[in-house]
Amino acid sequence: MPPAPQARAPRFDKTDWLAFGLSRLATDGPEALKLTALVQAAGKTIGSFYHHFDDQSDFFRALMNHWRDTSTRAIMTALDAIPDPADKANRLMDLATQLDVSVEMGVRSFATQNPMAAAAVAEVDALRIDYVSRIYAQRFDLEADAARDLARLEYAAYIGTQTLFRDQYDEVAPTLAALFQTLLRAELAP
């Protein structure tokens, strides 16, 4: 009797490669994105990788686009359905503090070594600050410059919290974000 066929590992599609890349970046840093290390950790072949990406630069570009789309654009799209700017700001606080801080820090670490990643981080930072600026302009009836300054302050605190309190982020980030919102309401709400 012939041996039973072995089950094949599920194929990785492009999205699987991108999710795996972000996961590796989060756990092991930019070195984990080297092609040999990446395919070995995935238990896949280099051919599988090249089936989805032209080269490593193509993968990096797709990885940064995937990060931007999942961690920023998807959140903005969800928030756009909320008409009240105060509710929108509160929901944004919840969603932003639920992002995987290891992925965020991994991407920022990668950006120190890779110009394409640095450009993607700068783009995401600008998108996020602009989005929060528009919420604050509407919520508190502020001029654009004042709203932008508040958004920059909050975003700097958000990034700083990821860096300073990485090991306690899940505990500290929501508390600090709620405190910031309380201070804004006390100072700016009519």
- Domain positions in the chain are 57-188
With 0.85 as the threshold, say if the pTM is over it.
Answer: yes
* Cα–Cα separations (whole angstroms), residue 179 to 22, 74, 174: 30, 25, 8
Quote the CA–CA distance of 121 and 156 in Å, as a whole number. Answer: 14
pLDDT digits (tens, 9 = 90+) for 15-60: 999 999 999 999 999 999 999 999 999 999 999 999 999 999 999 9
pLDDT value of residue 5: 52
Quote the CA–CA distance of 185 and 139 in Å, as a whole number. Answer: 10
pLDDT digits (tens, 9 = 90+) for 179-189: 999 999 999 98
pLDDT digits (tens, 9 = 90+) for 99-129: 999 999 999 999 999 999 999 999 999 999 9
- Top-level class of domain 57-188: mainly alpha
End-to-end, the C-alpha distance of the chain in Å comes to 81
Burial class (CB in 10 A: 0-12, 13-18, 19+), 69: middle
